[in-house]
Amino acid sequence: EVQLVQSGAGMKKPGESLKISCKGSGYSFANYWIAWVRQMPGKGLEWMGIIYPGDSDTRYSPSFQGQVTISADKSINTAYLQWSSLKASDTATYYCARGLFEMAGDFWGQGTLVTVS
């Protein structure tokens, strides 16, 4: 069974750093793109960027380029999304999803709520 399990909710202060994770199982993690999607409270879905764990090829949405860093460690089937200096406007639920690059997102993590206050 394909699963993406994300790290737990976090509460941070503005200016702090944060790294959240997404661990895949039940498939060949290195061979599928993993995307990160933001959903601000009560709002829609925004594609932030994507990584191919097999070779760490990474693409960012221009809206998020320079604001976050996407990485992956294929040895432990885990992708990451990190911030070096959080803002209040980063408060949102963040989802990882398999695919979402040249294919639809067929499996999604449960979401990680990040609160910056």
Partner 1 sequence: DIVMTQSPDSLAVSLGERATINCKSSQSVLYSSNNNNYLAWYQQKPGQPPKLLIYWASFRESGVPDRFSGSGSGTDFTLTISSLQAEDVAVYYCQQYYRTPLTFGQGTKVEIK
Which residues bind to partner 1, rule: CB under 8 A? Answer: 35, 37, 44-47, 50, 59, 61-63, 95, 97, 99-106, 108-111
105 touches 98 (CB < 8 A): yes
Minimal distance, residue 59 CB to partner 1, in Å: 6
Minimal distance, residue 31 CB to partner 1, in Å: 18
Residue closer to partner 1 by CB (options 37, 92) is 37
Q: Return the sign of the alpha-carbon dihedral for residues 82, 87, 93, 99.
A: negative
Minimal distance, residue 34 CB to partner 1, in Å: 13
Q: Which of 30, 89, 100, 34 is nearest to 64 (CA)?
A: 89
Exposure b/e, 86-109, CB count within 10 A at least 16 = b: beeebbbbbbbbbbbbeeebebbb
Residue closer to partner 1 by CB (options 58, 71) is 58
Residue closer to partner 1 by CB (options 17, 25) is 25
